[in-house]
Every structure is written in structure tokens, then in C-alpha cells.
Amino acid sequence: MTYPEMLSKAEALASDFGCAVLRGEPLSKHTSVRVGGPCDLMIFAPDAETAARLHFEFAGISLYSMILGNGSNCLFSDDGFRGAVIVPLKDPGGITVSGGLITAPAGAQLSAVCSKALESSLTGLEFACGIPGTVGGAVYMNAGAYGGEIKGIIETARAMDLSGKIRDYSAEDLMLGYRSSRFSFSGEVILSATFRLEKGDREAIGAKMQELLSRRRARQPLEYPSFGSAFKRPEGTFAGLVIEESGLKGKTVGKAQISPKHANFIINLGGATSKDIVGLIELAQKTVLEKTGFVLEPEVRLIPPEKQQ
């Protein structure tokens, strides 16, 4: 099957699954850093299970595909993406509460889950109220902030494997570590997650969320497109600290900049390219290693234009 035939086959499959399809959609419109070239196929799935089934169907015709949440940790090439990017619907209506348990589909915004927790007077998710991602992305990366992380509140996660089998994993089975989980290597697709929270005072929960959001606004360059944190925390220190100590705060490559406000943020000043950002990542890694001895590991996923299945 030729590549154009693969794309036509994938487009027909997506239509059969009730999905909307765009050709040549700019990935810059779907990533938080607003960078990325055209995608050969962008598919909007009604839910995470449909997205997962399509992803595995595409593997069967040797078409590379990936599932994209909020695009907050992804850096696509300026050349775009050869294959299919599948985006599940971000539907807050799929979030349910039962006692102290709150369940949400993988495509739901984490901020919407936090709002539901506040509405239900449930405490434990306050740390996540400003994290710019989806539930699936948060579980995949074991997202965390301000002393909290997904590992501390998750009850179960539901996922689909390559054979199409759906399985529920306990918190222990998820192998959650620092910005990692079993999904980092298993090839499974996260469908939903259930978090165990505690009953609390709604006013106190809201006040804590507002406090943390205010701290984010004061310390982070939220006025510019970015990934959030660009690098993982090196053992024994903080990425922003060693970048600042290395004299890189405010450094620019093209239209990308290491933020003068927070050195672990790479921001898009307007019109930045993937090449600009990769240049800054590599400069930071090289300079920090030379000046401090610390190795910086990106939190950002660098996604090439094409990749073999």
C-alpha cells in the first residue's frame, strides 16, 4: 500500500468511526507552545476509546499515528507530522463523582476535573488546578506541582492494549514515578482515570486553588505560549536554578527565549520555530553541564515528522 493509499484508508476508517478529519492542519494550533508544521491527517475522535481503537487500526495498515491531548508537552517538527494525529474530545460532561471518587475520561481537561472537585467539595486536587493538560497526559507523565502529584491521589486508570483489550490498573500497577508511568513504555492508550479525594470545605478548597493560581501567575510567564516546565528536576536541585546560575535567563534563539521570569520555561515570543526551541534546549543542556555538572533531561517530547511503527 502506498502512503497516499494509507492516508485515504485511514480517512475512511476515521469516518466510519464517526470522526471529523482535516488534512494539512497546522500543529501549531494544537500545542501550548504554538509551534509545529502541518499534519497529514488530524482526526477528532468523540472519545478516548474511539481514539485508541483508531490508533491500533492504523498500526494494522502501517500508518504511524499518535494520540494528542492538550499538546502541552509536545514539540512537533517545523516539517509537520507524516501520519495521523488523533485528538479525543475534551468533554467536561464525562466527569462523574461518586462519594470521594471522581472519574474522568482521558481527553478531559485536568482543570475541568479540578473544577468538578471544587463543586463537589472534594479536596486533594488543588495542586493540579493550574496544570495545562488533559487527564490522560497527567496520568502518563504523573503530573505534579506544589508538593502534590497524580501518584498521591489516583485510584485506578483504564487503558486499552494493542489487542483492543480494556484493563483497569490499580495505583500500584501504574508504576508511577517522577514524570513517568507504565504507559511511558507499554504502548497502551489511557482511556480514563479515577481519583480518590477527601470531603472538605468548599471555601477552603477554592481559596487554596486561587492561591496556587496566583503563585503561578506571579512566578511563571503565562502571558506567552510555552510547554510549562521545559526540563525535569535534576536530583538535588531545580532546573530553573541551574539554568539561571549558568547565565542563560533571557537567552534567545530566533523567536524562542529562556524566560527572564522563570528559567525553566522556554517561551514563544511570536513566530518561534521548532528549530529555535531545539536550539535553546541543546544550549541549556550543554551550558548547564559545563558550568554546574548537572544533566538536564527535557520534559518536552520531541516528535519527528515521521517514525516507523
Instruction: Give the catalytic positions in this structure.
Output: 179, 229, 299
Q: Burial level of 203, CB count in 10 A (0-12/13-18/19+)? A: exposed
The answer to whether the beta carbons of residues 280 and 253 sit under 8 Å apart is yes
- The x, y and z cell numbers of residue 126, run together, are 488543588
How many C-beta neighbours within 10 Å does residue 182 have? 18
H or E stretch including 118? Answer: helix 110-119
C-alpha dist (Å) from residue 34 to 30, 71, 141, 298: 7, 9, 21, 18
Q: DSSP of 41-65, one letter per residue?
A: EEEEESSHHHHHHHHHHHHHTT--E
Please tell me the number of Cα atoms within 13 Å of 52 on its side-chain side.
23
Residue 284 backbone zone (phi > 0: left; psi -120 to 50: alpha; other: beta): alpha
H or E stretch including 283? Answer: helix 274-292
